[in-house]
Amino acid sequence: MTQVSMTVNGQAASGDVEGRTLLSTFLREHLGLTGTHVGCDTSQCGACVVHVDGNAVKSCTILAAEADGADVATIESQAAADGTLNAVQQAFQDHHGLQCGFCTPGMVMSAVALLKDNPSPSEAEIRAYLEGNICRCTGYHNIVKAIMAASGQDVSAIAAE
């Protein structure tokens, strides 16, 4: 067992982990932050995406020990303390960007990372960025629309699906 310490959603967090403990396991099972979903555990689906030092990563494919000392942000950090959704979350709700909601934490974390680098992405850029985020429900259309709307772009021309 080794001790890891990191900042998670702005607060200090630490715990004893095995070498093999994944960051997703540490977040969900040690810290009880179950908003980060594990869909595939094989780095394919993106449900587990969190930010490590500002970069989107698949938390099922990074060791907790690798994130020692890092600044980690999960979906739980995205809404304000009073529950007010952030722009991306609100747009997902407004534009029906989710159905079962399983992929949504990863989708939102990827979208937030995209908009940080590219505040006004085109539809094609959004689709390319979401290459590693799989959704089995929505057909992606409304997710793309929600992200365009969250970036302040006019989405009235994009047909509803």
Partner 1 sequence: MYNFEFVKPSTVAEAVSALGEEDAQALGGGQTLLPTMKQRLASPSKLVSLSGIADMKGVSADGGVLTIGGGTTHGTVAAEAGAYPALADLASHIGDPAVRNRGTIGGSLANNDPSACYPSAALASGATIVTNTREIAADDYFQGMFTTALNEGEIITAVKFPIPQAANYQKFLQPASRFALVGVFVAKYADGVRVAVTGASEEGVFRWSEAEEALNKEFRPDALMDLKVAPANMIGDLHGTKEYRAHLVGVMTKRAVTAAG
Ligand X SMILES: Cc1cc2nc3c(=O)[nH]c(=O)nc-3n(C[C@H](O)[C@H](O)[C@H](O)COP(=O)(O)OP(=O)(O)OC[C@H]3O[C@@H](n4cnc5c(N)ncnc54)[C@H](O)[C@@H]3O)c2cc1C
Chain positions contacting ligand FES, by CB under 6 A: 38-41, 43-48, 58, 60, 98-103, 135-138
| Residue 61 Cβ vs ligand X, minimum distance, rounded to whole Å | 7
CA distance 27 to 10: 14
Q: Which of residues 65, 85, 137, 158 is near partner 1 by CB under 8 A? A: 65
User: What, of partner 1, ligand X, ligand FES, none, does residue 66 touch, CB below 5 to 8 Å by kind?
Assistant: partner 1
CA distance 106 to 48: 6
User: Which of 93/128 has CB closer to partner 1?
Assistant: 128
User: What, of ligand X, ligand FES, partner 1, none, does residue 38 touch, CB below 5 to 8 Å by kind?
Assistant: ligand FES
User: Which of 75/98 has CB closer to ligand FES?
Assistant: 98
Q: For the chain, where are the E strands, in sequence order?
A: 2-8, 11-17, 49-52, 55-58, 71-73
| Residue 106 Cβ vs ligand FES, minimum distance, rounded to whole Å | 7
Given a contact cutoff of 8 angstroms between Cβ atoms, the answer to whether 50 and 74 are in contact is yes
The arrangement of strands across the sheet holding 55-58 comes to 11-17, 2-8, 71-73, 49-52, 55-58
Question: Do the bridges between strand 49-52 and strand 71-73 make them parallel or antiparallel, or are there none, so unpaired?
Answer: antiparallel
Count of residues of this chain found to bind partner 1 when the rule CB under 8 A is applied: 29
Query: Which residues, listed in sequence order, are joined to residue 49 by a DSSP beta bridge?
Result: 58
3-62 residues in contact with partner 1 (CB under 8 A) are 18-20, 22, 41-43, 46, 49, 52, 55-58, 61-62
User: Which of 16/66 has CB closer to ligand FES?
Assistant: 66
